[in-house]
Structure 1
């Protein structure tokens, strides 16, 4: 999602980049030699625990269905999958509990099975969907099974569908683009017999995990925890949402998903407003989202979760792995202030928060010790995230490719809002606990969010309580 090109936002970037460079330099110094026993990263711990809490189905997996029509070289595809798994150790890493914590073990490289399954001539689409859904919920033994599996489904008309099942313990959203680009180049190399041209990876995910453990221990961890204790002192326990059913009445985690459009001009205008005060597009979206929640509840003090990429080390940019961390972004809405004033405060707080972005979320929660509300997660129940990782679909020469993703149908979070540009417009993906919120209620939240974005961009200097913003 592009940001306005102004001197102010450039200054904000420079300010933030300086902080990131300082953290990256410290991180680089602490990448240690690999011991015989490698601890899991904090993100792997989080994914493992989430998976363990649901013994019947996987809630931390995703499935990609890649349609392949044309001159597909099946042998080259199988070879490319093995090459990809050889390149990225995390794709052949198992995670198991042991004395003193959770540990990862890298399996030796080998030929990766890509079995072929024939689809029936009649009802092929239904059979494909059924297979993909079964893969999505199938429980994985993380201690013995690799976190990624591949199946090639062959249609009667000669077309193929590559079904990729991936557990989030091995990959985040950023990894999706890395994986697709690498697989494309490795397939091309197999077909042509030429080198893939991929640079050697300077580190592997296990090396990152070791360095992260070094950085987030002792005095380094305590400095970060001290910051978050102060930042969240007196913060509210929950974020108010217009529930159709009170959270305390159910523990059901089934989720629904709403896809909704945001006109490109609305976000572009908001980003222009952000640039005028030296803020990023995400900071403006966070501020507008906080205003939306405040208007629906009259609660001024809000904590919204913000995922961060966690890839300050340049060496991690081309790695597959789970690096993301969640930050509890606290926003205080003051009705007498203008949106521009609110956005300036959000910017300053966000820069400080991001500078402490590697503190593991679970350690942060344990240190802050927030009050617990029945039926809701502690501290963060709502997440706002921006999809700007430069997504790339796989490309195979001579093959027409289609691509879609299936999401887990459970969520412990009450609401996750994901925003990303699709062509001229933007798409908002609202994932919500369907036992608590009806789709019509979520649609209303989306409409109010868009209205707030439109209004604050038009009147950035008007007090938030003023009449020209009342319609939002």
Structure 2
């Protein structure tokens, strides 16, 4: 089966940074009381048998459903500290997408009546609601309530309406696609996934008034929290407009409510602080923005990126460099007959983007909220993120006290130093045989009749997915495939042929090219010209 639109962009990211746990989704639950391990293993087996996603592997840009297997190794630990260290280590272990499985379950035994179940899935097969489905079915299976039928299969529409793409182009035209946050270290030419987490609990005495204020403003808690976060980032970056990646559930079909799988699309939310509005007014702007983009939420994130920010600079993620997610409930609410169950949040250290903020209610009956900041350690120091968390709490308290208070006007700052230096790659000797093969491949995957040796792949309409197709064709041709990062770093036929022929001399990550950095401007200009030529007369 082909990848779904929601899986495509994630698969490309995984290929760019293989061998990391950045796309792991870990969660753990502590069960205190007598535990029947055999019954627990049988309940997990039932879940795997029911959900095809848990039996899926990705040997290439495709998904294959197999028979699946279940392991539940038990490890004895003698202290809380040892248990926490193991949970943290397991949360970040990379998956083998080709061979699977993409679900891992492990059990920690602290005492005869005290266990921690650690569940880790790869993002390609799961999302937030899937975690609760897993634990609900675990409880039912453990209680012997019988097996459930397998959910009906579903494949999202792969087509994207031209009008929907056009809306995103117009909506984000002129919006900065790089968030220039001040960093503690110079931004490296190539981003790494090395990260860390900072957890900050906003207590109920702060959050309860915030939740009441959201009701009074007639906005959702998500909108209010997102507004505060984005407003703080705008002031830090000196940008009146910021883009924040927000996951949006696409479980709009009844049969998906009880399914495990990836049914989430990330959308770039534009928060515009122009004019230094009052906080309440800015909340209404953000709510209006969210309502607008939900009309176009079926456009996959990778298609939006291709249209709005086609540049591929390896120092940062394209289009959005910060994510935000908010849930008014705990990450999961586990239960198991005969035990007292407690959810344990265990975010992995690997960072997907510069800064990622996840917010959950700490306990079902509490207004304490856990803010988990995952950040790139090659950019930020731990103290900087701790200070950011404190500033966000202060901003929330101010908003709850007086929603009319005006945020200080954003002061534009010089961001030229934030961009990594451009190093021109040395010219490589011509590789005519390889160049001819590459020209044929590019013609096929891009649907072009003419491809020049110095044409930029992205200027010709290349996207993340056609990049994967190129990599696949090269694997079929030579028996091996260059890393995806090489196809990004050498975006012309001549440059890529030189690299494949061994003339590049160094790893591609060390030689960013000026053509790659300039591709966005040329591509945008061509698209603007094409739209103007095809525009209907008014």
TM range (shorter): 0.7 to 0.9
Matches within 5 A, 1:150-161: 150-154=105-109, 157=112, 159-161=114-116
Per the alignment, residue 19 of structure 1 pairs with: none
Aligned residue for 1:329, secondary structure, equals strand
- Measured in 2, the distance between the counterparts of 1:463 and 1:406 equals 37
Which of 106, 113, 119 is 2:76 aligned to? Answer: 119
Aligned residue for 1:247, secondary structure, equals coil
Per the alignment, residue 203 of structure 1 pairs with: 152
Which of 15, 22, 40 is 1:52 aligned to? Answer: 15
Per the alignment, residue 105 of structure 1 pairs with: 64
Structure 1 residue 320 displacement after superposition = 1.0
Per the alignment, residue 99 of structure 2 pairs with: 144
Alpha-carbon contact 2:102-2:121 (below 8 Å) kept: yes
How many residue pairs end up in the alignment? 406
- Measured in 2, the distance between the counterparts of 1:421 and 1:65 equals 16
Distance 1:52 1:250, change over 3 A: closer
Distance 1:270 1:150, change over 3 A: closer
Per the alignment, residue 135 of structure 2 pairs with: 180
Aligned residue for 1:444, secondary structure, equals helix
Structure 1 unaligned spans of 5+? 1-37, 467-472
Which of 298, 301, 305 is 1:361 aligned to? Answer: 301
Cα RMSD for the two superposed structures = 2.7
- Measured in 1, the distance between the counterparts of 2:390 and 2:79 equals 37
Distance 1:125 1:424, change over 3 A: closer
Structure 1 residue 63 displacement after superposition = 3.6
Alpha-carbon contact 2:227-2:271 (below 8 Å) kept: yes
Which of 404, 421, 431 is 1:461 aligned to? Answer: 404
- Measured in 2, the distance between the counterparts of 1:257 and 1:232 equals 31
Matches within 5 A, 1:2-81: 38-81=1-44
Structure 1 residue 353 displacement after superposition = 0.8
Residues 23-78 of structure 1: CA deviation (Å, up to 9, x unaligned): xxxxxxxxxxxxxxx22222323333333223333322244444444322222222
Does the alignment pair 1:398 with 2:398? no
- Measured in 2, the distance between the counterparts of 1:130 and 1:291 equals 35
- Measured in 2, the distance between the counterparts of 1:153 and 1:460 equals 47
Does the alignment pair 1:451 with 2:394? yes
Per the alignment, residue 421 of structure 2 pairs with: none
Structure 2 unaligned spans of 5+? 410-538
Alpha-carbon contact 1:201-1:318 (below 8 Å) kept: no
Distance 1:240 1:268, change over 3 A: farther
Distance 1:464 1:201, change over 3 A: same
- Measured in 1, the distance between the counterparts of 2:276 and 2:124 equals 45
Distance 1:161 1:364, change over 3 A: same
Alpha-carbon contact 2:196-2:351 (below 8 Å) kept: no
Structure 1 residue 454 displacement after superposition = 2.2
Which of 422, 425, 439 is 2:382 aligned to? Answer: 439
Per the alignment, residue 224 of structure 2 pairs with: 284
- Measured in 2, the distance between the counterparts of 1:338 and 1:63 equals 38
- Measured in 2, the distance between the counterparts of 1:289 and 1:183 equals 36
* Structure ranking higher on relative contact order (CA contacts 8 Å, 6+ apart): 1
Structure 1 residue 150 displacement after superposition = 2.5
Does the alignment pair 1:307 with 2:307? no
- Measured in 2, the distance between the counterparts of 1:318 and 1:390 equals 18
Higher mean C-alpha displacement, 452-461 vs 414-423: 452-461
Structure 1 residue 373 displacement after superposition = 5.6
Higher mean C-alpha displacement, 346-355 vs 399-408: 399-408
Matches within 5 A, 1:365-376: 365-369=305-309, 371=311, 375-376=315-316
Per the alignment, residue 93 of structure 1 pairs with: 56
- Measured in 1, the distance between the counterparts of 2:233 and 2:107 equals 45
Distance 1:162 1:348, change over 3 A: closer
Per the alignment, residue 479 of structure 2 pairs with: none
Structure 1 residue 329 displacement after superposition = 0.7
TM-score by length of 2: 0.69
- Measured in 2, the distance between the counterparts of 1:272 and 1:279 equals 10
Alpha-carbon contact 2:43-2:138 (below 8 Å) kept: yes
